[in-house]
Every structure is written in structure tokens, then in C-alpha cells.
Structure 1
Amino acid sequence: MSAPVPTTESASPSTAPADGGAAPWWRPTGTRVLQVAAALVALQLLVRGVVAARGYYYWDDLILTGRAGAMSLLSPEFLLYDHDGHFMPAAFLVAGIANTLAPYQWALPALILVILQALASLAVLRLLVVLLGRRPTLLIPFALYLFSPLTLPAFAWWAAGLNALPMQIGLAAVAADAVLLCRTGRARYAWSSLAVFVASLLFFEKAVLVPLVAFAVVALMYRVDGHRKPLRAALARGRRLWAWSAVVIAGWAVVYALVVTPSPGERTPEMTVELVRHSNYRGLFPTLLGGPWRWDRWPPSPPWAVPPEALVVVAALAVLACVAGTLAWKRRVGWVWIATAAYVLASETAMVIARSSPDTTYELGQTLRYLTDSAVVVAIALALVLRAPTRDRWSGRRSGPRSVLVVSVLVVAFVASSLWSTATFVARWEDNPTVDYLARAKASLVANADAPMLDQPVSIWVLLPVAYPYNMASSVFAALPDRPEFASSTPVLRKMDDSGDIVDAEVTWVRAIGEGPVPGCGYHVTDAPTALPLSGPLAGWEWAVQLNYLASRDGEIEVGLAEGEPVTVPVRAGLNTVYVNLDGGGPDVRVRTLDPELSLCVGVGPVGAVVPKP
């Protein structure tokens, strides 16, 4: 027969008296603790609300909204998309609904981020109450989670927040339910935790770790409580949850394998070591003291932490001192820190495997978004340490006003440091060229909706070519209701410049269609394919062709390069010009009419790139 499991109160006696009893200020009641916690949540949401309001769409956000504007929101093509190795159908759906309701209106994504943050904060508070009871000490890990800049970059970036915040909710909510399931044996905690797990897994594939973390929390809780066989007890008491979680993971793994094509990065031992070192010493550790205080950015990249060297050293020493001090102060907490380090290392390993390449900079680890869920794990670790029994040589000491005051000052200093880091982050995050670009582009598109536009990449300061085809204007602006059609041909050549303004454009003379053999006509085109020789061969690429033509009637023609797929182009009767986008290469342009009664004369014209008119 297994030994009885100590309760939270027996494992670590509460310093708070029963509600309603008289208590000195340094021993607040459980009700007062929850009131302070609620005030901290309100402050956090106020700060994060300002962060969200000062942000805007960035990079992957435009990919999510662009795909939502071009596809059915419930189609497998939309939901089951391999987004750079991510499998996140629920995130796609939320982004799609938001963009459908209010295309490119940032207020709605900002509100969604704040709501998700509120749910995550409340889930963490509930977990801490489950582990520690309503005692003042829970405010220490809770403040760390609420204000640590570790969660800030992922929160501010909508696409990242749709991954990170449901993951944080899942970690906290499932761990709390797992503890309650093992404590009470009530099946409802198994089903509620399973539902939250499935939801978080649909937002972010990393949530596959959620039940593993929940199991670790239960086992470590039993360990610090002095249970003789913590692993066996955790397995036995939560078997319903673990079994169904395994079923969910197995089914999810099959779908993930069918949808996602892994693309492991190229890495060297030196790169791996440096990425891990930068992630910890310049990323994670300073945030545990409220750092990094400073951020840098090369638009269009996201900001990354640039802590002062003094803070890097102090933070590393503080982490070592915290671990060593708690090992000396509390019993049976060694495995808590080992498990925490293992989780952080697993997150960093995933980052190295998926994101390293010869072009990867070490600052990748300092962007913090790959470690953001570690804030929940660190808060859990601190809660388990605080729950653990005190060693004999410390057991006779009780906290008085002086020790409570010292802890309060440290917490306030941490919050102040974190708020400063938040302010400096916002200053860098606001340096987002997408804000002005989209504002000007939307206005320009409305003003130039009278003719189709040739598709083109958006500014490289908004989306780099590596995002193709989602860096194309037809994708980025797919959801806008009042805009010109993006087509493969147009009778009016216009181009969107790097500021987002639409200007008149022309085709450069990289190659040319010369004078044709038919006097007064040039090249006579009928429904038989006609080759229009160029002044030189074209390499395979995307080219613009200016066709100056005289058509016998309205109709359609087919235009293509010698090497490439042709496109269908409408033409109008009379003397006109049409501009055509073509993929391919070769020595000539090939044209034929799609109506036997239609014929064209084609004259001299350029083939090249579309550029603004001088």
C-alpha cells in the first residue's frame, strides 16, 4: 500500500491565517493574496494592451491574412498548410476569421492577443494556487510569469502569439487539471485537460509536450512532498489522462507526418554551441532579472535582446545562486531544476534543428520567441521549490516583516526592470515599415481600381522574396474588398513602389521584339502559333512583355515564351497596348489568337522588368 500523499498545506505550512482572521500586514489572508494577484493581472494586461496597440501586422501575419483572403477558411488547403514546418490549423482559422471580419484592421488582432494573454495569466494563477494554496509566496513565481520579457516578443507578433499563448494556456491548465485529477480522482479533470490539450495542439505543434510537462509536474510534486514512488504514483493516479493523451498524440502524429515536410537546418557543432549560449546567456537569463533592457533590430527582422555585459554576468550568477540557494534551503528539489533545464534545452534543440543554416545569425536565440513557453515552466519550478519542505537547519525560522519587505522590494525591482525592458522593446517594435506601407498601399489600390495590375512582390522591407508566393501583392492584398484585380496582363501599366504608392510604370528594354516581316503590320498573328523573335535569348525568369498591337476585333490571345507556360490575354479592337507577365525564357515570344476570326498585327516592343516611369 502506497504512503499517503501529503497535501499542499502539510507539505509547506501556510503563513496565511484563515480568511477573516486578524493578521499582520506581512501575513495577508488568502483573499488578500488573490486580490493582489488580480491587481497584478490587471497591470499586466494594461501593459500588454499598450504593447499590442502599438504593434501592427508583421511578416508571417501578412502570409496568414493573405491566404485567408484567397481561400475558403474551412478548406484543407487553408487549414492543413505546412507553414515553414509549423502545423497550426486553429491559428489559421482564428487569423482567417479576424481578417474576414475586419481586413487589415489591427484592433481585432490586438484584442485577440490581449484575450489570449488574459486566459494564459489566469491559467497560470490557477496552477499556482493548486500547487501552493492561496499563500503570499505564490506571488513570486506569478510576478515572474506576468512581467518577464521572456514572453514579450512572441506576444507582440500576432502569428507568434497565436502559437505561443495557447501553448502557455495548455501548459498551465493541463498541469493544474492533472494535479487535481491525481489528488481527487475525479474524471472531469481528465476530460477537461484533454480538451485543452487538443485545442493547444491545434494551435502549435510544440504543444505535444503539454501532457509530458503535466506528468512531470505531478511526479515532481509527489517527489517534493516525500512520496516514496513519485513516478509510479503519477502514472497510476493520472492513467486516464496519460492514456488518452497518448492516443491524441498518436493520431496527431499521423496527420502531422502527412502534412508537414521536415526541413532540418544545416548546422555545425560551433553553431549549435553558440546558438545555445546566446539563447541562455543573452536571452533567457537576463529576462529572469527583468532584462534585457535594450533591443536591436534590422528591419524587416524582429527585435532581439541586447543586454549589457554587466547584466549578462549578473544574471548568470543570479541563476546559479538561485539554484544553489534553493538546494541548500529546500529538500528534494534537485530534480525540479534538472527537469526545468531539460525543458529549456529541448526548446533550444528544436530551434537549432529547425532554424540553423549557414546564414543563421546567433542573434536568433536572442529573439526569445523559441523559449517563451519556458516562462510557464520556470514559474512551475519556483512553485514546486516553494512547496518543498524546508531543511532542518532552516525549519525554525519564520518570515517576519523584514524578510517579507526584502522579498517585496526584489519583486518590485523585477517588475520595474521588466517594464523598462517592455518600453524599450516597444520603441524598437514600432520601427515597422509595414505600417506606412499598408496604409499607403490600401489607399493607392482603392484609387487605382479602374484597371488590372500585374502581380508583383511587395516591398522587401515588408516581406523578403523567401516568402514567395506569399510576398506577392495578389496574396498580401487578397482580402481587401476595394482593389484592382491582379492579373497576368493589363492595358495600363502601374507599379507599387517601396512606399506603397501606385505609380505609372514602363517595361525596360532588356530584350526587344523587332520589326516584323509584314510591311505596315509587323508580325501577323492568327490562330496558328506565331514566333516573335527577340533581340537575344532570355534566361528563365519572370519577364514583362509589352505587346503593341492592332486587333481586328475584341477577343483573346495566348502569349508565352519559348520555354514556359502561356497565359490568356484579352485584347480590344483597334490600335492598343497590353502588358503581359510571363514566366520562362528562350529566344522568342509566341502568340496565337483563340478565335479564328481574330487577327493581330504586332509591332516593336520591349521585354524586360517593370519599373516606375522617371
Structure 2
Amino acid sequence: MTAAPGGPQRKVEYSRAVVAGALALIVAGLVLRGWVLSRGSFYWDDFILIGRAAEFPLFSADLLFHDHDGHFMPLTFAAAWLLTAVAPLEWWAAAASLLILQLLASLAVLRLLVVLLGWRPVLFVPLTFYLLSPLTLPAFAWWAAGLNALPLQAALAWVTADTVRLIETRRRRYAVSALVAFLIALLFFEKAAVVPFAAFAVALLWVWVTQKPRDAGASRANPFAFVARGGRELWIGSAVILLWWIPVYSMAVSRDVGFDGLKSAGTILNRTFTDSFVPVLFGGPWTWERWLPSTPWAAAPQWATVACWAALAAIVGGSIVLKRRVIPVFAFVAAYIIVATIPVLVLRAGPDTAPELVQSLRYLAETSVIVVAAIALVFVAPGREGLNARWHPGRKAAAVAVAAFILSSVWSTVTFSQVWSENPSREYLTNLRGATDTDAPVQLLDQEVPWNLLSPLTFPQNMASRVLAPLDDRVRFGPVVSELRMVDDRGRLVAAEVWWNRAIPQGPDPECGYRITPGAPVAVPLGGGMFEHGWTAQLNYFSNGPGELVVAFDSIAGERSAVSVPIEEGLNTAYVRLVGGAESLLFTTPTPGVEICLGSGPVGVAAHAGN
């Protein structure tokens, strides 16, 4: 950087001002993102991570190597386990983890910009884009997605910066640093496999654009060979990591791969560029839409997308006119977006998948780092000879553009937060904690959580015994209770009753109903078949003493559905949750000397009393 007027002291002050401004921008971005988190709460996959964290120990293959919808992410599960152990189902802890990861990613991006640009005011342009662009917002606001996306963004920036430094200095410590960051990101999210390839591409473009390395002649003759040789330690180390990781991933994850045809691919790519990526380049999409319980998706007005395409064409065209060697930079960004969309086309697209999926922006979050690097490369590209300096945009024009982008991004962030804050889990968990604030844990039968917290398609992860397992000091779920209560859709503890879908009829003994004694099991008809499901049986009984009663569906799978019911002396009622289905129930008692009289009662769905 050319020394500023006033000598070295002025230059130091100048750099310090840039450092202070960059750090202030990072703090401002964290404050804005923190405000978004303050209006959010746990959502969907968050509860799956939390439930598995409560079910398995930290160093368990069932936890760390779990196939989560095709994702291999042991460090994500480890992070969820640690946070669940420290602050079970506390949103503030999850939000704090996202802010810490965002800070690390922001500092990594700042380091990348310093490597590419130096401490120059021009770095405020790409840094502002990364910190405030809505491109990273949906993945950040969702805890489970953020635990994947933020380490990937940090690694992409860090490894790319290390690659450039490695090529510049040939110091191996940069290769070691990059490999550590790459491995960590890969264990958070399998998509980090792209990191060394993206870093190679950015380093290659840097060599091509600047042609400033010490071995400039070699780099000009063959930039690819120059980058390959200069970063060989990193490339060899990355290959070793991937050769180890690929078989581990293949053993842990099972995914159906398919392709829904060129028409679907065209729709997805059109939505990716026109409705998603291009508007957010200018701080869009400004408006968001949502079908509960899905995540919000970008819904920029049509006139705005047209205007954004025109503005993008003007910027790209103007850059090509004013700068040399920048066409490959723009081609790289477009190619990366297409590559980033391929997993959606192969693993997600289909007749039952809405194209709005890509408009959620989650699958494009790390492209923010690619855009940042591209902006920096365009800035450092040499200008075309013969063009007067007055054709280049001045600082005032750049400041106006940055200010407009900030206002646009803040508006999009606010509108996103308004839609995203429609999350029932905040009220559900708050009410549940209040209802279970007792000296001893509340005993309940297991039940499904509301569908807008977690879909029945995720069974058995959507069972309250798994979702709320971290709150076992407040509420515990078992197969038998003496008082039937439930947690309603708003997290309130309410009285419940059993519907008469089927019934235990009045037994043949007019004074006892069905008499159950040690010995042969007693089959009790239900008046019709029951399909495989979770049912509740209300057992009204009289016992001559304490003991045990075993009840199960009279079917091939009956042993798996068997529940042991503690029996008290006298006239009592027990509510039993049974999973299975058949036309009758089998009752046995292994307690010597106990005689149980079973009366009539309902067998069916447990629901709020009065429903």
C-alpha cells in the first residue's frame, strides 16, 4: 500500500482507523443478528439434535455417527450435546453459540480480505456484504442449520486465506492451519468437502488477476501449476483427509440419489438465481413468505428481480470494461452457485418437493464467502490502460452504494425476523416450564409433540419423551400413570381422558369382571381390531394386595408391546400406554397370591378432557 501523506505515522493511524472500522462493522453485524435471535426459538431439527443429545452419551457412535437425513456431522451433535448438558432446552445458550460461531466466521472473512486487499478502506465493501447480507440469514437464525453453515463459512474463508499465504511465503504452518480448519468444518458438515477445491480456485484466480508472486514469470506462464506446486502440502493433506473421510461418510450415511428431470433442474436453477441469489446481492429479497411450519423463503417482487438483474449486468459489464482479467472471476461465482445447487437437484428435488426450497437460501449460505472473495479480486485486478480515472467510481459513489446496501439488508432482516418469529416453541417451552415447576417431576404418559414443533413423519423423534428428555427434572414420561394428564399444543398441563375407540367389556364374572390370577394369561376382547399405533388403556381394577400386572396386545408383536403395571391394593385406576394393535389384550400377573378383578374401561386415544 502506498504511504499516505504525512509519513509512516500517518500510515499507521490510517491502518488503525481501518482496523477500528472493520471491528465496529463486525460488532454491528452481531448486534443485528443477535436481535433476530432474540425473537427466535428452537425449530424442527433442533429438537431432534436435542433429543438425541439427551438420549446418548457424548462419545457414542449412536450420537456422533447418526445419519441425520443424509448428513454426517459428528461435531454438530457434539456441540448440541454440550449445550444440552449445560443449558437444557434454553434458547439463550443456543443463540449464544450461534453468535460465537458468527463472530469466528466474521473474523475469518476479515482475515481473508486483509490477505487479498490489505488494510485498505475498500475492504469495507465486501466485509459489509458478508456481515449484513440476507444470504446467510436463514441458515444463521436456525440453530441446527447454523451449526452446519457457520463452521463451513469460517473454514472456507480461513483455508482460502491460508492458501494464498502459503503460496506467497511457502511457510508450511499455513498448510497445517488450513488442514486443521478443513477437518473441523468437515466434521460439522459434509458440504465442507468443497473447501480445498474452492480455496484452490480462489488462489488460482488471485494469481491470474494480480500476477504478483515472487515467481511472476512462472505464474504468468502456468498459474495452475504454480498454485499446485506452491500449495502442494495443503493439497496432499486435503486428499488424505478426504480419502479417510469418504468411506467413513459412506458407512454412516445412506441416501437415495435421484434426478427429477431437466424441467425440475431448470426450475430449481431459475429459482436459485432469479428469486434467490441475485436479489440478495443488493440486500434483498425485502419480502418473505412462509407456509407454517416451513422456513421462510425469499419472495422478492418481480419488478425488483428485473431491476437487480439489470443492475448486476451493469456492474459485471462495467467491471469488465474497467478491469482486466476479471471475466474468470465472475464465471467462477456462477459455476460455484450451480455446483452448490447440485445436491439439491440430486438429493432433494422431486415431485413432492416445492421449488421454494432453494429460495430459503440455506443451501447458498457459504456462497457469501465466494462473493466476498470475488469482490476483493475485482478490486485488486489491474485497470485497463487508456481509461481515464474519472471513469472509475469514486469514494462518494461507493459510500452511497454501501449505505444503500446496508439499508436494504437491514430492511430484509427486519421483515425476515417478523416472519421467522412465528414460532410456537417459545410459548410451548415457557408454559411447560411454568406448569412443571413442582417439587417432584410430573409423571405423564408419552405423547407426540405438536405437529408444528416436529412432524409425525420424524417418529419416534417427535415423541415428547425424546424432545423433552433434557427436562427430566421437571417432567418424566413412562408407560403407566395413575392420573391422566397431557401437555397441550401450547405447553400447558391439562387433564386428559381416554376415548372409547375400543373398550374392555364387562367381564363374565358379575362380581369381578375379568379375574386375573397367577398362571395362564387372560385374553380380553376389545370389540374390534386396532391398527398399529400408540394407544391408551384405562384399567379399572380391584386387587387383594400390591403386585404386578402385565398387559400386552394379543398379537405376534405382543411381547414387544408388553407393559408391567404396578398394582396397589384396593380399588384403583391405572392408565397404560401400549404401542401395537390387535383385537384383544392379554393380562397376566406374576405376583403369587394376588387376585385382580378387572372392570370395563376405554381403550383408545388419550386426549384433552372435554375435547
TM-score by length of 2: 0.93
Code of the aligned partner of 2:88? P
Code of the aligned partner of 2:527? S
Q: Look up the match of 1:480.
A: 471
Question: Identity percentage over the alignment?
Answer: 44
Code of the aligned partner of 1:504? A
Distance 1:534 1:472 in 2: 26
CA contact (8 A) 1:19 1:31 kept: no
Secondary structure, aligned partner of 1:344: helix
Q: Look up the match of 2:593.
A: 597
Secondary structure, aligned partner of 2:462: coil
CA contact (8 A) 1:61 1:159 kept: yes
CA contact (8 A) 1:562 1:584 kept: no
Code of the aligned partner of 2:491? G
Q: Look up the match of 2:346.
A: 353
> Which segment drifts farther, 352-361 or 199-208?
352-361
Whether 2:570 is the aligned partner of 1:574: answer: yes
Q: What's the offset of the Cα at 1:331?
A: 1.7
Distance 1:443 1:399 in 2: 65
CA contact (8 A) 1:128 1:380 kept: yes
Q: Look up the match of 2:531.
A: 539
Whether 2:236 is the aligned partner of 1:240: answer: no
Whether 2:81 is the aligned partner of 1:101: answer: no
Q: What's the offset of the Cα at 1:445?
A: 3.0
Secondary structure, aligned partner of 2:351: coil
> Which segment drifts farther, 431-440 or 301-310?
301-310
CA contact (8 A) 2:436 2:442 kept: no
Q: What's the offset of the Cα at 1:266?
A: 6.4
Query: Any residues of structure 2 matched to 1:364-383 within 5 Å, and which?
Result: 364-383=357-376
> Which segment drifts farther, 162-171 or 484-493?
484-493
Q: What's the offset of the Cα at 1:352?
A: 2.4
Distance 2:545 2:248 in 1: 53
Q: 2:302 aligns with which of 297, 302, 309?
A: 309
Q: Look up the match of 2:257.
A: 264
Code of the aligned partner of 1:515? Q
Q: Look up the match of 2:541.
A: 549
Q: What's the CA shift string for 1:149-203, capped at 9, x where partnerless?
A: 1011111111111111100100000010111111101111111111111111111
Q: 1:466 aligns with which of 445, 457, 472?
A: 457
Q: Look up the match of 1:430.
A: 421
> Which segment drifts farther, 297-306 or 111-120?
297-306
CA contact (8 A) 2:151 2:188 kept: yes
Q: 2:550 aligns with which of 550, 554, 558?
A: 558
Q: 1:56 aligns with which of 41, 57, 64?
A: 41
Q: What's the CA shift string for 1:553-598, capped at 9, x where partnerless?
A: 2222221112332222222222211111112222101111132433
Q: What's the offset of the Cα at 1:100?
A: 1.1
Pair 1:387–1:451, CA change in 2 (3 A) = closer
Code of the aligned partner of 1:50? W
Distance 2:498 2:377 in 1: 67
CA contact (8 A) 1:451 1:490 kept: no
Q: What's the CA shift string for 1:183-242, capped at 9, x where partnerless?
A: 101111111111111111111110111111111111111111342211111111111111
> Which segment drifts farther, 354-363 or 415-424?
354-363
Q: What's the offset of the Cα at 1:428?
A: 1.3
Pair 1:603–1:131, CA change in 2 (3 A) = same
Distance 2:503 2:459 in 1: 28
Code of the aligned partner of 1:407? A
Whether 2:79 is the aligned partner of 1:86: answer: no
Pair 1:466–1:449, CA change in 2 (3 A) = farther
Q: Look up the match of 1:405.
A: 396
Secondary structure, aligned partner of 1:479: helix
Whether 2:278 is the aligned partner of 1:285: answer: yes
Q: Look up the match of 1:586.
A: 582
Q: Look up the match of 2:96.
A: 111
Distance 1:273 1:74 in 2: 43
Pair 1:431–1:413, CA change in 2 (3 A) = same
Pair 1:431–1:596, CA change in 2 (3 A) = same
CA contact (8 A) 1:451 1:491 kept: no
CA contact (8 A) 1:557 1:592 kept: yes
Distance 1:599 1:275 in 2: 67
Q: What's the offset of the Cα at 1:533?
A: 0.8
Code of the aligned partner of 1:261? S
Q: What's the offset of the Cα at 1:514?
A: 1.3
Distance 1:323 1:459 in 2: 49
Distance 1:360 1:573 in 2: 56
Query: Any residues of structure 2 matched to 1:96-175 within 5 Å, and which?
Result: 96-175=81-160
Secondary structure, aligned partner of 2:531: strand
Code of the aligned partner of 1:528? A
Q: 2:287 aligns with which of 294, 309, 313?
A: 294
Whether 2:398 is the aligned partner of 1:418: answer: no
Q: Look up the match of 1:5.
A: none
Secondary structure, aligned partner of 1:446: coil
Q: Look up the match of 1:500.
A: 491
CA contact (8 A) 2:441 2:476 kept: no
CA contact (8 A) 1:87 1:256 kept: yes
> Which segment drifts farther, 260-269 or 79-88?
260-269
Query: Any residues of structure 2 matched to 1:318-337 within 5 Å, and which?
Result: 318-337=311-330
Secondary structure, aligned partner of 1:535: coil
Secondary structure, aligned partner of 1:550: strand
Root-mean-square deviation (Å):
2.1
Q: Look up the match of 1:3.
A: none
CA contact (8 A) 1:446 1:484 kept: no
Q: 2:435 aligns with which of 444, 447, 457?
A: 444
Q: What's the CA shift string for 1:473-496, capped at 9, x where partnerless?
A: 111111114323211121111111
Q: Look up the match of 1:208.
A: 193
Q: Look up the match of 2:214.
A: none
Whether 2:496 is the aligned partner of 1:511: answer: no
CA contact (8 A) 1:515 1:522 kept: yes
Q: 1:66 aligns with which of 46, 51, 57?
A: 51
Pair 1:531–1:15, CA change in 2 (3 A) = farther
Q: What's the CA shift string for 1:499-539, capped at 9, x where partnerless?
A: 11111111111111112222311212233222101111112
Code of the aligned partner of 1:89? P
> Which segment drifts farther, 294-303 or 433-442?
294-303
